Amino acid sequence: MNSSNPEGTYLTKSVLEVNGQKLKSLFNAALIWVKVNQQRINSLNVFPVPDGDTGTNMFLTMQSAYQEVAQSNDNNAGRVMRTIAQGALMGARGNSGVILSQLLRGFARALDEKEQIDAPLLIKCLTEARNTAYKGVVRPVEGTILTVAKDIANYAETSLTDTNNLVQILEAIVKEADRSVKRTPELLPILKQAGVVDSGGIGLFFLLEGMLRFVKKMPLDETGVEKHAQIVPIADLEILDNAIEPGQDFEVVVDFVPNSPINIETLYTDLAKIGTSIQIGEGDSMYRMHIHVPRNNQYMPINYIDKIGTVQKVYIENLIEQMRKKGTINTQNSSIKIKEGQIAVVAVSPGEGISKIFYSLGVAAIIPGGQTMNPSTKEILDAFENLPTDKIIILPNNENIILTAESTIPMSKKKVAVIPAISVPQGLIACLRFDPEGDYESVIKEMTESLGEVETGEITTATRSVQINGVDVKKGEVIALHNGKLVDSSKNLTIASMNLLDKIGAEKKEHITIFYGSGLKESQVNKIIQPIKAKYTEQEIEIHNGGQPHYQLIIAVE
Protein backbone atom coordinates (compact mmCIF):
# COMPACT_ATOMS: atom_id res chain seq x y z
CA MET A 1 0.00 0.00 0.00
CA ASN A 2 1.09 3.46 -0.66
CA SER A 3 -0.51 6.58 0.71
CA SER A 4 1.01 8.87 -1.86
CA ASN A 5 -1.19 9.82 -4.69
CA PRO A 6 0.95 9.70 -7.82
CA GLU A 7 -1.80 8.83 -10.23
CA GLY A 8 -4.39 11.18 -8.82
CA THR A 9 -3.71 13.57 -11.64
CA TYR A 10 -5.50 11.60 -14.31
CA LEU A 11 -8.89 12.06 -12.72
CA THR A 12 -9.45 15.68 -13.44
CA LYS A 13 -12.73 17.52 -13.29
CA SER A 14 -14.52 15.58 -15.96
CA VAL A 15 -14.05 11.85 -16.27
CA LEU A 16 -16.22 9.83 -18.58
CA GLU A 17 -14.66 6.39 -18.35
CA VAL A 18 -12.58 4.35 -15.92
CA ASN A 19 -10.46 1.41 -17.04
CA GLY A 20 -9.05 -1.51 -15.07
CA GLN A 21 -5.89 0.19 -13.84
CA LYS A 22 -7.74 3.30 -12.71
CA LEU A 23 -10.26 1.13 -10.94
CA LYS A 24 -7.41 -0.60 -9.18
CA SER A 25 -5.97 2.73 -7.98
CA LEU A 26 -9.37 3.79 -6.72
CA PHE A 27 -9.62 0.56 -4.82
CA ASN A 28 -6.23 1.03 -3.27
CA ALA A 29 -7.32 4.48 -2.08
CA ALA A 30 -10.50 3.01 -0.60
CA LEU A 31 -8.45 0.36 1.19
CA ILE A 32 -6.07 2.92 2.68
CA TRP A 33 -8.90 5.16 3.81
CA VAL A 34 -10.78 2.30 5.48
CA LYS A 35 -7.56 1.31 7.20
CA VAL A 36 -6.93 4.83 8.47
CA ASN A 37 -10.48 5.00 9.82
CA GLN A 38 -10.51 1.47 11.11
CA GLN A 39 -10.49 2.32 14.82
CA ARG A 40 -13.15 4.95 14.33
CA ILE A 41 -15.39 2.31 12.72
CA ASN A 42 -14.58 -0.20 15.47
CA SER A 43 -15.54 2.31 18.14
CA LEU A 44 -19.10 2.45 16.81
CA ASN A 45 -19.91 -1.18 17.48
CA VAL A 46 -22.91 -1.58 19.71
CA PHE A 47 -23.46 -5.29 19.47
CA PRO A 48 -20.93 -7.22 21.45
CA VAL A 49 -21.51 -9.73 18.66
CA PRO A 50 -21.46 -10.74 15.94
CA ASP A 51 -19.25 -8.11 14.47
CA GLY A 52 -17.02 -7.02 17.32
CA ASP A 53 -14.62 -5.16 15.12
CA THR A 54 -16.38 -4.06 11.99
CA GLY A 55 -13.59 -1.70 10.94
CA THR A 56 -10.91 -4.35 11.18
CA ASN A 57 -13.09 -6.92 9.42
CA MET A 58 -13.89 -4.57 6.56
CA PHE A 59 -10.26 -3.55 6.23
CA LEU A 60 -9.06 -7.17 6.14
CA THR A 61 -11.73 -8.06 3.59
CA MET A 62 -10.71 -5.11 1.43
CA GLN A 63 -7.08 -6.00 1.82
CA SER A 64 -7.68 -9.54 0.68
CA ALA A 65 -9.64 -8.11 -2.27
CA TYR A 66 -6.93 -5.68 -3.29
CA GLN A 67 -4.12 -8.17 -2.93
CA GLU A 68 -5.62 -10.17 -5.78
CA VAL A 69 -5.13 -7.29 -8.21
CA ALA A 70 -2.12 -5.56 -6.67
CA GLN A 71 0.25 -7.03 -9.27
CA SER A 72 -2.18 -6.97 -12.17
CA ASN A 73 -1.58 -4.81 -15.26
CA ASP A 74 -4.93 -5.65 -16.79
CA ASN A 75 -6.70 -2.68 -18.33
CA ASN A 76 -10.04 -4.43 -18.53
CA ALA A 77 -12.26 -2.98 -15.81
CA GLY A 78 -14.57 -5.99 -15.76
CA ARG A 79 -11.80 -8.50 -15.21
CA VAL A 80 -10.12 -6.37 -12.53
CA MET A 81 -13.41 -5.99 -10.68
CA ARG A 82 -14.15 -9.69 -10.89
CA THR A 83 -10.75 -10.48 -9.40
CA ILE A 84 -11.36 -7.95 -6.62
CA ALA A 85 -14.73 -9.53 -5.86
CA GLN A 86 -13.11 -12.96 -5.81
CA GLY A 87 -10.47 -11.75 -3.35
CA ALA A 88 -13.13 -10.20 -1.14
CA LEU A 89 -15.05 -13.45 -1.07
CA MET A 90 -11.97 -15.45 -0.10
CA GLY A 91 -11.05 -13.05 2.66
CA ALA A 92 -14.50 -12.03 3.90
CA ARG A 93 -14.39 -11.56 7.65
CA GLY A 94 -17.38 -11.00 9.89
CA ASN A 95 -20.85 -9.95 8.90
CA SER A 96 -19.86 -6.66 7.30
CA GLY A 97 -17.08 -8.34 5.37
CA VAL A 98 -19.48 -10.91 3.94
CA ILE A 99 -21.95 -8.20 2.94
CA LEU A 100 -19.16 -6.15 1.40
CA SER A 101 -18.02 -9.15 -0.62
CA GLN A 102 -21.58 -9.61 -1.91
CA LEU A 103 -21.80 -5.95 -2.90
CA LEU A 104 -18.55 -6.27 -4.84
CA ARG A 105 -19.74 -9.49 -6.41
CA GLY A 106 -22.92 -7.83 -7.66
CA PHE A 107 -20.95 -4.87 -8.93
CA ALA A 108 -18.58 -7.19 -10.80
CA ARG A 109 -21.40 -9.17 -12.33
CA ALA A 110 -23.04 -6.10 -13.84
CA LEU A 111 -19.69 -4.95 -15.17
CA ASP A 112 -19.22 -8.28 -16.92
CA GLU A 113 -16.19 -8.17 -19.24
CA LYS A 114 -16.53 -4.49 -20.15
CA GLU A 115 -13.30 -2.63 -20.85
CA GLN A 116 -14.42 0.61 -19.23
CA ILE A 117 -16.97 1.86 -16.74
CA ASP A 118 -19.05 4.79 -17.91
CA ALA A 119 -21.89 6.58 -16.15
CA PRO A 120 -24.88 4.40 -17.19
CA LEU A 121 -22.85 1.28 -16.46
CA LEU A 122 -21.79 2.55 -13.04
CA ILE A 123 -25.42 3.07 -12.08
CA LYS A 124 -26.27 -0.39 -13.33
CA CYS A 125 -23.40 -1.81 -11.24
CA LEU A 126 -24.56 -0.03 -8.08
CA THR A 127 -28.06 -1.38 -8.63
CA GLU A 128 -26.83 -4.90 -9.14
CA ALA A 129 -24.61 -4.62 -6.05
CA ARG A 130 -27.69 -3.69 -4.00
CA ASN A 131 -29.79 -6.50 -5.49
CA THR A 132 -27.12 -9.13 -4.94
CA ALA A 133 -26.53 -8.06 -1.35
CA TYR A 134 -30.23 -8.19 -0.52
CA LYS A 135 -30.52 -11.70 -1.95
CA GLY A 136 -28.20 -12.93 0.74
CA VAL A 137 -30.56 -12.50 3.65
CA VAL A 138 -34.14 -13.45 4.41
CA ARG A 139 -34.90 -10.65 6.79
CA PRO A 140 -32.68 -7.70 6.10
CA VAL A 141 -32.05 -5.57 9.16
CA GLU A 142 -32.41 -1.95 8.09
CA GLY A 143 -30.17 0.78 9.43
CA THR A 144 -27.05 -1.19 8.45
CA ILE A 145 -24.53 -1.33 5.63
CA LEU A 146 -27.29 -2.92 3.51
CA THR A 147 -29.43 0.20 3.87
CA VAL A 148 -26.55 2.45 2.90
CA ALA A 149 -25.87 0.35 -0.21
CA LYS A 150 -29.57 0.46 -1.06
CA ASP A 151 -29.83 4.22 -0.58
CA ILE A 152 -26.82 4.83 -2.80
CA ALA A 153 -28.23 2.66 -5.58
CA ASN A 154 -31.72 4.17 -5.35
CA TYR A 155 -30.32 7.65 -5.41
CA ALA A 156 -28.11 6.90 -8.40
CA GLU A 157 -31.06 5.39 -10.29
CA THR A 158 -33.37 8.32 -9.69
CA SER A 159 -31.17 11.41 -9.47
CA LEU A 160 -27.92 10.79 -11.28
CA THR A 161 -28.99 9.65 -14.72
CA ASP A 162 -28.55 13.01 -16.44
CA THR A 163 -24.79 13.32 -16.06
CA ASN A 164 -22.03 11.34 -17.68
CA ASN A 165 -19.28 12.71 -15.46
CA LEU A 166 -18.10 9.96 -13.14
CA VAL A 167 -16.47 12.37 -10.69
CA GLN A 168 -19.77 14.14 -10.25
CA ILE A 169 -21.55 10.83 -9.66
CA LEU A 170 -18.95 9.70 -7.13
CA GLU A 171 -19.22 12.99 -5.29
CA ALA A 172 -23.01 12.70 -5.18
CA ILE A 173 -23.04 9.12 -3.92
CA VAL A 174 -20.52 9.91 -1.20
CA LYS A 175 -22.87 12.66 -0.01
CA GLU A 176 -25.84 10.31 -0.17
CA ALA A 177 -23.87 7.65 1.73
CA ASP A 178 -23.16 10.23 4.42
CA ARG A 179 -26.86 11.16 4.69
CA SER A 180 -27.83 7.51 4.73
CA VAL A 181 -25.34 6.73 7.52
CA LYS A 182 -26.78 9.60 9.55
CA ARG A 183 -30.28 8.15 9.11
CA THR A 184 -29.31 4.72 10.45
CA PRO A 185 -30.19 5.50 14.11
CA GLU A 186 -33.77 6.26 13.01
CA LEU A 187 -34.06 2.80 11.48
CA LEU A 188 -32.30 0.71 14.10
CA PRO A 189 -33.33 1.55 17.67
CA ILE A 190 -30.25 0.01 19.27
CA LEU A 191 -28.08 2.55 17.45
CA LYS A 192 -30.20 5.37 18.73
CA GLN A 193 -29.99 4.09 22.30
CA ALA A 194 -26.22 3.94 22.07
CA GLY A 195 -26.05 7.34 20.37
CA VAL A 196 -24.06 6.10 17.39
CA VAL A 197 -24.46 5.48 13.68
CA ASP A 198 -24.06 2.05 12.10
CA SER A 199 -20.45 0.88 11.94
CA GLY A 200 -20.73 -1.17 8.74
CA GLY A 201 -22.62 1.66 7.08
CA ILE A 202 -19.95 4.18 7.89
CA GLY A 203 -17.34 1.67 6.73
CA LEU A 204 -18.97 1.68 3.29
CA PHE A 205 -19.02 5.46 3.42
CA PHE A 206 -15.27 5.58 4.12
CA LEU A 207 -14.66 3.15 1.27
CA LEU A 208 -16.36 5.51 -1.17
CA GLU A 209 -14.94 8.63 0.44
CA GLY A 210 -11.43 7.20 0.08
CA MET A 211 -11.99 6.96 -3.67
CA LEU A 212 -13.29 10.51 -3.78
CA ARG A 213 -10.38 11.87 -1.74
CA PHE A 214 -8.03 10.16 -4.15
CA VAL A 215 -9.75 11.76 -7.13
CA LYS A 216 -9.63 15.15 -5.44
CA LYS A 217 -6.00 14.64 -4.45
CA MET A 218 -6.78 15.03 -0.78
CA PRO A 219 -4.46 13.31 1.74
CA LEU A 220 -5.19 9.68 2.60
CA ASP A 221 -3.59 9.53 6.02
CA GLU A 222 -4.35 10.58 9.58
CA THR A 223 -4.07 14.26 8.68
CA GLY A 224 -7.39 13.91 6.88
CA VAL A 225 -9.16 12.36 9.86
CA GLU A 226 -11.32 14.55 12.00
CA LYS A 227 -10.24 14.54 15.61
CA HIS A 228 -12.51 12.22 17.49
CA ALA A 229 -13.67 14.74 20.03
CA GLN A 230 -16.03 13.75 22.79
CA ILE A 231 -16.75 14.38 26.42
CA VAL A 232 -16.99 11.43 28.77
CA PRO A 233 -17.91 11.19 32.45
CA ILE A 234 -14.89 11.88 34.65
CA ALA A 235 -14.99 8.37 36.01
CA ASP A 236 -14.42 7.06 32.49
CA LEU A 237 -11.26 9.03 31.88
CA GLU A 238 -8.57 6.52 31.18
CA ILE A 239 -5.24 7.43 32.56
CA LEU A 240 -3.09 5.55 30.12
CA ASP A 241 0.26 5.53 31.76
CA ASN A 242 1.59 2.98 29.35
CA ALA A 243 0.75 5.12 26.37
CA ILE A 244 3.75 7.36 26.51
CA GLU A 245 4.80 8.69 23.17
CA PRO A 246 8.30 9.92 22.61
CA GLY A 247 8.56 13.55 23.55
CA GLN A 248 5.33 13.54 25.53
CA ASP A 249 6.97 13.48 28.94
CA PHE A 250 4.44 15.15 31.22
CA GLU A 251 0.90 14.29 32.11
CA VAL A 252 -1.15 17.35 32.97
CA VAL A 253 -4.64 17.18 34.44
CA VAL A 254 -6.64 20.35 35.00
CA ASP A 255 -10.02 20.62 36.71
CA PHE A 256 -11.91 23.72 35.64
CA VAL A 257 -15.23 25.49 35.39
CA PRO A 258 -15.68 27.09 31.97
CA ASN A 259 -16.71 30.74 31.64
CA SER A 260 -19.15 29.91 28.89
CA PRO A 261 -20.44 26.62 27.43
CA ILE A 262 -17.41 24.96 25.92
CA ASN A 263 -17.10 24.08 22.27
CA ILE A 264 -15.59 20.63 22.38
CA GLU A 265 -14.28 20.68 18.80
CA THR A 266 -12.41 23.95 19.34
CA LEU A 267 -11.06 22.74 22.65
CA TYR A 268 -9.71 19.56 21.07
CA THR A 269 -8.21 21.40 18.11
CA ASP A 270 -6.46 23.91 20.38
CA LEU A 271 -5.17 21.28 22.79
CA ALA A 272 -3.95 19.08 19.94
CA LYS A 273 -1.46 21.84 19.14
CA ILE A 274 0.03 21.46 22.62
CA GLY A 275 0.07 17.72 23.25
CA THR A 276 -1.40 14.26 22.75
CA SER A 277 -3.66 11.73 24.54
CA ILE A 278 -6.26 14.44 25.04
CA GLN A 279 -9.33 13.55 27.04
CA ILE A 280 -12.07 15.74 28.41
CA GLY A 281 -14.26 14.56 31.26
CA GLU A 282 -17.42 16.06 32.64
CA GLY A 283 -18.42 15.92 36.31
CA ASP A 284 -20.57 17.88 38.77
CA SER A 285 -20.58 21.38 37.24
CA MET A 286 -16.89 21.06 36.38
CA TYR A 287 -14.71 19.59 33.65
CA ARG A 288 -11.46 17.68 33.77
CA MET A 289 -8.91 17.92 31.00
CA HIS A 290 -6.19 15.32 30.53
CA ILE A 291 -3.22 15.72 28.20
CA HIS A 292 0.33 14.48 27.60
CA VAL A 293 2.77 17.24 26.70
CA PRO A 294 6.50 17.51 25.99
CA ARG A 295 8.88 18.94 28.56
CA ASN A 296 8.78 22.75 28.48
CA ASN A 297 5.14 22.64 27.38
CA GLN A 298 3.87 21.45 30.72
CA TYR A 299 2.39 24.81 31.76
CA MET A 300 0.78 25.59 28.41
CA PRO A 301 -2.42 23.60 28.99
CA ILE A 302 -2.92 25.37 32.32
CA ASN A 303 -2.51 28.80 30.75
CA TYR A 304 -4.86 27.80 27.98
CA ILE A 305 -7.58 26.57 30.33
CA ASP A 306 -7.10 29.67 32.46
CA LYS A 307 -8.22 31.75 29.49
CA ILE A 308 -11.48 29.88 28.94
CA GLY A 309 -12.48 29.25 32.55
CA THR A 310 -11.58 29.11 36.22
CA VAL A 311 -8.85 26.62 37.04
CA GLN A 312 -9.69 24.70 40.21
CA LYS A 313 -7.00 22.12 40.51
CA VAL A 314 -3.87 21.19 38.60
CA TYR A 315 -1.99 17.93 38.60
CA ILE A 316 1.29 17.40 36.79
CA GLU A 317 3.29 14.22 36.65
CA ASN A 318 6.64 13.51 35.06
CA LEU A 319 5.82 10.34 33.14
CA ILE A 320 9.34 9.41 32.21
CA GLU A 321 10.39 9.57 35.87
CA GLN A 322 7.36 7.56 36.88
CA MET A 323 8.04 4.88 34.29
CA ARG A 324 11.68 4.70 35.26
CA LYS A 325 10.72 4.06 38.85
CA LYS A 326 8.43 1.27 37.76
CA GLY A 327 11.32 -0.15 35.80
CA THR A 328 9.32 -0.36 32.61
CA ILE A 329 11.66 1.97 30.81
CA ASN A 330 15.32 1.27 30.98
CA THR A 331 17.78 3.99 30.26
CA GLN A 332 18.97 2.54 26.98
CA ASN A 333 15.41 2.57 25.75
CA SER A 334 14.60 6.17 26.42
CA SER A 335 17.96 7.37 25.19
CA ILE A 336 17.41 5.98 21.72
CA LYS A 337 15.92 8.59 19.48
CA ILE A 338 15.25 7.67 15.91
CA LYS A 339 15.54 10.64 13.64
CA GLU A 340 13.39 11.11 10.59
CA GLY A 341 14.74 9.38 7.55
CA GLN A 342 16.86 6.97 9.57
CA ILE A 343 16.38 3.25 9.48
CA ALA A 344 14.81 1.77 12.61
CA VAL A 345 15.28 -1.82 13.73
CA VAL A 346 12.68 -3.53 15.90
CA ALA A 347 13.62 -6.86 17.44
CA VAL A 348 11.72 -9.67 19.11
CA SER A 349 13.40 -10.53 22.39
CA PRO A 350 12.63 -13.37 24.79
CA GLY A 351 14.20 -11.80 27.89
CA GLU A 352 15.06 -8.62 29.77
CA GLY A 353 18.84 -9.01 29.50
CA ILE A 354 18.75 -9.79 25.80
CA SER A 355 16.53 -6.73 25.27
CA LYS A 356 19.14 -4.54 26.93
CA ILE A 357 21.83 -5.82 24.61
CA PHE A 358 19.60 -5.20 21.60
CA TYR A 359 18.98 -1.65 22.81
CA SER A 360 22.68 -1.09 23.27
CA LEU A 361 23.20 -2.15 19.65
CA GLY A 362 20.83 0.57 18.45
CA VAL A 363 17.51 -1.26 18.24
CA ALA A 364 14.64 1.24 18.38
CA ALA A 365 11.96 -0.97 19.92
CA ILE A 366 11.65 -4.40 21.46
CA ILE A 367 8.73 -6.76 21.04
CA PRO A 368 8.66 -9.24 23.91
CA GLY A 369 8.27 -12.77 22.57
CA GLY A 370 10.00 -15.96 21.56
CA GLN A 371 9.52 -19.68 21.97
CA THR A 372 5.91 -20.49 22.98
CA MET A 373 5.09 -16.78 23.25
CA ASN A 374 4.86 -15.59 19.68
CA PRO A 375 3.83 -11.95 19.37
CA SER A 376 0.84 -11.09 17.21
CA THR A 377 0.95 -9.14 13.97
CA LYS A 378 -0.57 -6.22 15.82
CA GLU A 379 2.04 -6.24 18.56
CA ILE A 380 4.78 -6.10 15.95
CA LEU A 381 2.98 -3.36 14.00
CA ASP A 382 2.45 -1.32 17.17
CA ALA A 383 6.15 -1.48 17.93
CA PHE A 384 7.10 0.47 14.84
CA GLU A 385 4.03 2.31 13.55
CA ASN A 386 4.70 5.27 15.83
CA LEU A 387 8.41 5.55 15.12
CA PRO A 388 9.21 8.77 13.27
CA THR A 389 10.66 7.02 10.22
CA ASP A 390 9.25 5.03 7.35
CA LYS A 391 12.17 2.62 6.96
CA ILE A 392 11.72 -0.36 9.24
CA ILE A 393 13.67 -3.57 9.69
CA ILE A 394 12.26 -6.40 11.80
CA LEU A 395 14.38 -9.05 13.50
CA PRO A 396 12.03 -11.92 14.43
CA ASN A 397 14.80 -13.95 16.12
CA ASN A 398 12.70 -17.10 16.05
CA GLU A 399 11.67 -19.33 13.18
CA ASN A 400 8.03 -19.29 14.22
CA ILE A 401 7.81 -15.51 14.24
CA ILE A 402 9.15 -14.84 10.73
CA LEU A 403 5.76 -15.31 9.05
CA THR A 404 3.98 -13.09 11.55
CA ALA A 405 6.63 -10.44 11.08
CA GLU A 406 6.22 -10.65 7.31
CA SER A 407 2.48 -10.25 7.59
CA THR A 408 3.01 -6.69 8.79
CA ILE A 409 4.57 -5.68 5.46
CA PRO A 410 1.30 -5.16 3.54
CA MET A 411 -0.40 -3.70 6.61
CA SER A 412 1.91 -0.77 7.07
CA LYS A 413 2.40 2.28 4.94
CA LYS A 414 6.06 2.23 5.92
CA LYS A 415 8.75 0.29 4.11
CA VAL A 416 9.15 -2.88 6.12
CA ALA A 417 11.75 -5.60 5.70
CA VAL A 418 12.12 -8.80 7.70
CA ILE A 419 15.62 -10.19 8.23
CA PRO A 420 15.03 -13.93 8.61
CA ALA A 421 16.97 -14.31 11.86
CA ILE A 422 15.84 -17.57 13.48
CA SER A 423 17.65 -17.11 16.78
CA VAL A 424 18.81 -14.44 19.21
CA PRO A 425 22.49 -14.83 18.21
CA GLN A 426 21.52 -14.31 14.56
CA GLY A 427 19.55 -11.22 15.52
CA LEU A 428 22.51 -9.84 17.46
CA ILE A 429 25.03 -10.48 14.70
CA ALA A 430 22.69 -8.74 12.24
CA CYS A 431 22.53 -5.74 14.57
CA LEU A 432 26.29 -5.39 14.42
CA ARG A 433 25.95 -4.67 10.69
CA PHE A 434 23.18 -2.17 11.20
CA ASP A 435 23.78 1.40 10.09
CA PRO A 436 20.85 3.75 10.77
CA GLU A 437 22.15 6.24 8.20
CA GLY A 438 22.92 3.69 5.52
CA ASP A 439 21.13 2.92 2.29
CA TYR A 440 18.01 0.91 3.20
CA GLU A 441 18.44 -1.82 0.59
CA SER A 442 22.15 -2.37 1.20
CA VAL A 443 21.69 -2.40 4.99
CA ILE A 444 19.07 -5.13 4.59
CA LYS A 445 21.40 -7.07 2.32
CA GLU A 446 24.34 -6.77 4.72
CA MET A 447 22.29 -7.75 7.73
CA THR A 448 20.80 -10.76 5.93
CA GLU A 449 24.21 -11.94 4.74
CA SER A 450 25.63 -11.70 8.24
CA LEU A 451 23.19 -14.31 9.59
CA GLY A 452 25.42 -17.17 8.46
CA GLU A 453 28.40 -15.86 10.36
CA VAL A 454 27.21 -17.06 13.74
CA GLU A 455 26.50 -20.53 15.07
CA THR A 456 23.57 -20.76 17.42
CA GLY A 457 23.49 -23.15 20.32
CA GLU A 458 20.48 -23.59 22.57
CA ILE A 459 20.04 -25.66 25.71
CA THR A 460 16.62 -26.55 27.03
CA THR A 461 14.75 -29.32 28.82
CA ALA A 462 12.92 -32.00 26.83
CA THR A 463 9.17 -31.87 27.40
CA ARG A 464 8.61 -35.38 26.06
CA SER A 465 10.50 -38.51 25.10
CA VAL A 466 11.32 -38.66 21.42
CA GLN A 467 13.90 -39.79 18.90
CA ILE A 468 15.05 -37.18 16.38
CA ASN A 469 18.13 -37.04 14.15
CA GLY A 470 19.31 -40.27 15.72
CA VAL A 471 19.35 -38.71 19.18
CA ASP A 472 17.43 -40.53 21.86
CA VAL A 473 15.71 -38.07 24.16
CA LYS A 474 14.03 -38.91 27.43
CA LYS A 475 11.53 -36.54 28.97
CA GLY A 476 13.21 -34.21 31.48
CA GLU A 477 16.67 -34.58 30.01
CA VAL A 478 18.71 -31.58 28.94
CA ILE A 479 18.78 -31.24 25.18
CA ALA A 480 21.09 -29.22 22.97
CA LEU A 481 20.25 -27.68 19.62
CA HIS A 482 22.71 -26.48 17.04
CA ASN A 483 21.15 -23.97 14.61
CA GLY A 484 17.72 -25.32 15.59
CA LYS A 485 18.64 -29.00 15.06
CA LEU A 486 18.75 -31.44 17.94
CA VAL A 487 22.33 -32.67 18.44
CA ASP A 488 22.55 -33.95 21.99
CA SER A 489 20.59 -35.11 25.00
CA SER A 490 22.28 -35.43 28.38
CA LYS A 491 21.61 -35.84 32.06
CA ASN A 492 22.84 -32.41 33.06
CA LEU A 493 23.51 -28.89 31.82
CA THR A 494 27.29 -29.02 32.04
CA ILE A 495 27.64 -32.14 29.90
CA ALA A 496 25.03 -30.88 27.43
CA SER A 497 26.76 -27.55 26.93
CA MET A 498 30.19 -29.15 26.55
CA ASN A 499 28.83 -31.58 23.96
CA LEU A 500 27.05 -28.76 22.19
CA LEU A 501 30.17 -26.61 21.88
CA ASP A 502 32.00 -29.66 20.60
CA LYS A 503 29.34 -30.26 17.90
CA ILE A 504 29.44 -26.60 16.90
CA GLY A 505 33.20 -26.84 16.52
CA ALA A 506 33.91 -24.03 18.94
CA GLU A 507 37.64 -24.78 19.18
CA LYS A 508 38.08 -23.37 15.65
CA LYS A 509 36.12 -20.21 16.45
CA GLU A 510 37.02 -16.99 18.24
CA HIS A 511 34.14 -15.87 20.41
CA ILE A 512 31.71 -17.72 22.64
CA THR A 513 28.88 -15.63 24.08
CA ILE A 514 26.56 -17.26 26.58
CA PHE A 515 23.16 -15.90 27.65
CA TYR A 516 21.75 -17.68 30.66
CA GLY A 517 18.01 -17.92 31.22
CA SER A 518 15.70 -16.76 33.97
CA GLY A 519 15.57 -20.26 35.46
CA LEU A 520 19.25 -20.38 36.40
CA LYS A 521 20.99 -19.08 39.51
CA GLU A 522 24.43 -17.53 39.27
CA SER A 523 26.00 -20.39 41.17
CA GLN A 524 24.59 -22.85 38.63
CA VAL A 525 25.92 -20.72 35.81
CA ASN A 526 29.41 -20.69 37.30
CA LYS A 527 29.36 -24.46 37.52
CA ILE A 528 28.54 -24.72 33.83
CA ILE A 529 31.04 -22.10 32.78
CA GLN A 530 34.11 -23.47 34.59
CA PRO A 531 34.73 -26.51 32.35
CA ILE A 532 34.00 -24.41 29.27
CA LYS A 533 36.61 -21.84 30.27
CA ALA A 534 39.06 -24.61 31.07
CA LYS A 535 38.68 -26.23 27.66
CA TYR A 536 38.33 -23.20 25.37
CA THR A 537 41.36 -21.23 26.50
CA GLU A 538 42.00 -19.76 23.03
CA GLN A 539 38.50 -18.27 22.75
CA GLU A 540 37.04 -15.13 24.21
CA ILE A 541 34.15 -16.11 26.46
CA GLU A 542 31.44 -13.68 27.52
CA ILE A 543 28.61 -14.38 29.92
CA HIS A 544 25.35 -12.38 30.02
CA ASN A 545 22.14 -12.64 31.97
CA GLY A 546 19.68 -13.06 29.09
CA GLY A 547 16.61 -13.51 31.26
CA GLN A 548 14.86 -15.71 28.66
CA PRO A 549 12.40 -18.40 29.77
CA HIS A 550 12.50 -22.03 28.52
CA TYR A 551 16.10 -21.95 27.34
CA GLN A 552 18.62 -22.33 30.14
CA LEU A 553 21.34 -21.24 27.75
CA ILE A 554 21.53 -19.51 24.40
CA ILE A 555 25.02 -19.59 22.98
CA ALA A 556 26.48 -17.60 20.11
CA VAL A 557 29.70 -18.89 18.58
CA GLU A 558 31.60 -16.86 15.98
Partner 1 sequence: MTDKKDHLGKITVSQHAIATVAYQSALESYGVVGMADKDIVSGLSKLLFKDPAAGVTVNFDGDSVTIDMYIVVEYGTRISSVASSVANNVKFQVEKVIGIPVKSVNVHVRGLHVSNAD
Binding residues vs partner 1 (CB under 8 A): 47-51, 89-95, 97-99, 101-102, 105, 109, 132, 135-139, 141, 146
- DSSP labels for 132-201? HHHHT-SSPPSSSHHHHHHHHHHHHHHHSTT---HHHHHHHHHHHHHHHHHHHHHH-HHHHHHT---HHH
What element of type H or E holds 392? strand 391-395
CB of 89 to partner 1, least distance (A): 6
- Give the 3-state secondary structure of residue 503: helix
CB of 105 to partner 1, least distance (A): 6
CB of 47 to partner 1, least distance (A): 7
Residue placing its CB nearer to partner 1 in the complex, 105 or 292: 105
Strand 343-349 relative to strand 365-368: parallel, antiparallel, unpaired?
Answer: parallel
Name, in order, each residue with C-beta under 8 angstroms of 125's C-beta and a sequence gap of 6 or more. Answer: 106, 107, 110, 111, 117
Residue placing its CB nearer to partner 1 in the complex, 16 or 90: 90
Residue placing its CB nearer to partner 1 in the complex, 77 or 555: 77
CB of 139 to partner 1, least distance (A): 5
Strand 343-349 relative to strand 391-395: parallel, antiparallel, unpaired?
Answer: parallel
Residue placing its CB nearer to partner 1 in the complex, 92 or 496: 92
CB of 95 to partner 1, least distance (A): 5
Q: How big is the chain by its Cα radius of gyration, in Å? A: 29
Residue placing its CB nearer to partner 1 in the complex, 82 or 414: 82
CB of 406 to partner 1, least distance (A): 24
Distances from the Cα of 302 to the Cα of 111, 231, 282, 293, angstroms: 59, 19, 17, 11
**C-alpha distance across the termini of the chain, in Å:** 39
Residue placing its CB nearer to partner 1 in the complex, 62 or 92: 92
Q: What angle do CA 82, 84, 85 make, to 5 degrees?
A: 65
Residue placing its CB nearer to partner 1 in the complex, 109 or 550: 109
CB of 50 to partner 1, least distance (A): 3
SS (H, E, C) 307-370: HHEEEEEEEEEEHHHHHHHHCCCCHHHHHCCCCCCCEEEEEEECCHHHHHHHHHCCCCEEEECE
